[in-house]
Each structure stands twice: as structure tokens, then as C-alpha cells.
Amino acid sequence: RVHPWLAVNAPTDARVLAVEGWLPTDRMPEVVTLARERGAERIYVTGTERVFAYYIWPGERLEMDLGQPFTGTLSLDASGVGGGFRLLGDGRTLLEHTVTGPPQVFTTTVEDPVRDLELQTLPNGASPDAPQLFIKDLHVNGTDVHRRMRSLRRIRANGDTLTGTPTHAEAAAEALIAAGWPADLLVVRPVTDAEGGRSAANAQALAQAFRRDGIHAVDLVTLGVHARRSGRLLQRASGEEVQVGVISLADPECPAGTWWLQGSGWAKVAKELVALCRD
């Protein structure tokens, strides 16, 4: 019975939860419900860098400070429901296109150095209650812009300003807040250096935060068969002074009763078994 062994559920009933930020954002309402049912006083969330991917709403613009000027190839993958986008570099138009339907890749060569990028939506009369564009990725000379930039601001049509989400930690935090969890009861620990592996880096970031904040018991919320490995890594990083429990959310791609009937189930189980042997 390998699945229940990997997808372990062994909570400590701690008043603190830790969430792996790579969990799908549509599972965050479930996390918030779980936290409230358990009387959680705080949620810690961590995660490594993620690809530059955003839903863009009508009238919204993205302002990016890349820190260091660049020249070379700029490419953007976009899809949408009509209208289009304009991409500015230090105030100059670099790309401007109409976008309808499936993803398209738009490319240009930047000859004069550019440090600041601004992505604007072009009007299409779409409903303000639904995204107009989906940006799948944005690259500079083959490197994801999230890896290059110093900061990103998302400015909505009504003037509301949001920060970007260059890591899974920040994306998960945004989803938790949208699901109703108070921002002041959330501790975000982004990871930008995952040289030793993403799961291990996440565990180290959480352990450092626990030591700083005097946390001695925590329940880690993760997904499916990843639970045993994540719990082991977090316990190892935190040491004996922190009691680490694990809560495994059900994974539809690797269901407990029928995982062996799905290719994704075999892949996930095999991956976790190999990783446990390696770690």
C-alpha cells in the first residue's frame, strides 16, 4: 500500500500551518477552510521562482523594473478574447499586436538599452469582470523576466495596485488572501535560490522563519503523495525543537484508490519513491 504511505496524514493539531506555494491556486480556499476549522493563528507559505504568467484584465497594466538595462531578443507569448497589448520599453513601443484566440508568440529585437518595461492592454469592449489576455511567458534573451526583474507592479483600471508574483510563495499568498485569509496572519517566505532542490529549499526557508518566530509546532499542508517527502525535509531542516505534522490534500491526478490506473499516478508515485531514496 504505497499510496497511503506516501500521502501520509499525520497532523499535530498545531495552531500554525505551512503551505507549499506550488499547490494549485484553486486549492487555496480549501486551505483557508482547513485553517479556520483548526483555529490556525498563522499561515506560512513558501515557494520557488515561477514562470512569468499572468491573466491581464481590461485596462490593467504591468510595470517592470529589470534593474539592469538589456539589449537583444524580447519575446512574449499571449492569448486572449480580442483587443491586444502594447509593450513599452523606457517609454518606447517595442511590440503592439491584436490578440485573438489561441497562444501566439511575438518577438522583437531591442537594439537600444532598456531597463523598464510596461505592458498595456488595448481596449476591446470586453467585460471588466473577466480577464482580457493571458500572458504565458515573457523572455529577454531566452531568460524568464521573473529571473531578471527587480520589481513588478500590476495597476488595475480602477487604480488599485498589486505587486507581482515572481515566486510560488507570492502567488499562493495572493490566492490565500483572495480566499479570505487575513494578510496580517500570513507569513510569506519566497525562495530565489533552489540550487539544492526546490523542496529542500522550501523547507530551509520555512525552518529559518520558524526559528526567527519561535514556532515549535506546525502542520505542513501539501498535495497527495508528496506529503511524506515534504514532511521529512521540513522536519530535518527544522530540527528537534519543532514538531512537524503533515496534512495531505487529495490529488485528483493521483487518487488513493485508483492511482495505478492513470499514467500521472504512476509518474508521481515513482518520482516520490526515487526522491525519498535520494534524500
Write out the CATH class of domain 54-164.
mainly beta
Amino acid at position 160, single letter: D
Task: Please give the residue that has the higher pLDDT: either 250 or 193.
Answer: 250
- For residue 125, is pLDDT > 70? no
DSSP secondary structure of 85-126: EEEEETTEEEEEEEEEEEEEEEEEEEEEEEEEEEEEEEP---
> Percent of the chain, pLDDT > 90?
74
Judge whether 220 and 189 are in contact, CB under 8 Å. Answer: no
Interval 84-117: pLDDT, tens: 899 999 999 999 998 888 899 999 999 999 999 9
> Percent of the chain, pLDDT > 70?
97
Kindly state the average pLDDT of the residues 4-19.
Answer: 94
pLDDT band, very low/low/confident/very high, at 79 (cuts 50, 70, 90): very high
40-54 b/e (C-beta count within 10 Å ≥ 16 → b) = bebbbbbbbbbebeb
- CATH dotted code for 2-49+171-278: 3.40.50
The per-residue pLDDT for 127 is: 66
CATH 3.40.50 residue spans of the chain: 2-49+171-278
- For residue 33, is pLDDT > 90? yes
DSSP secondary structure of 207-230: HHHHHHHT--EEEEEEEGGGHHHH
- For residue 154, is pLDDT > 70? yes
- For residue 55, is pLDDT > 70? yes
H helices of the chain, where? Answer: 2-6, 28-37, 145-148, 168-178, 198-213, 227-238, 263-278
- For residue 279, is pLDDT > 90? no
CATH 2.60.120.1060 residue spans of the chain: 54-164
pTM, whole model, 2 decimals? Answer: 0.84
Kindly state the average pLDDT of the residues 5-18.
Answer: 94
Kindly state the average pLDDT of the residues 28-44.
Answer: 97
Phi, psi (degrees; rounded to nearest 5) at 188: -105, 125
Q: Kindly list the strands in the beta sheet with 42-47, ordered across the sheet, starting from the edge strand earlier in the chain.
A: 186-190, 42-47, 16-20, 217-223, 243-249
Judge whether 12 and 245 are in contact, CB under 8 Å. Answer: yes
Amino acid at position 27, single letter: R
The per-residue pLDDT for 181 is: 98
Please state, as a whole number, how many other Cβ atoms lie within 10 Å of the Cβ of residue 197.
Answer: 14
User: Which cell numbers in the block locate residue 241?
Assistant: 525543537
| Mean confidence (pLDDT) of the chain | 92
The per-residue pLDDT for 171 is: 92
Interval 198-246: pLDDT, tens: 889 999 999 999 999 999 999 999 999 999 999 999 999 999 999 999 9
Judge whether 173 and 45 are in contact, CB under 8 Å. Answer: yes
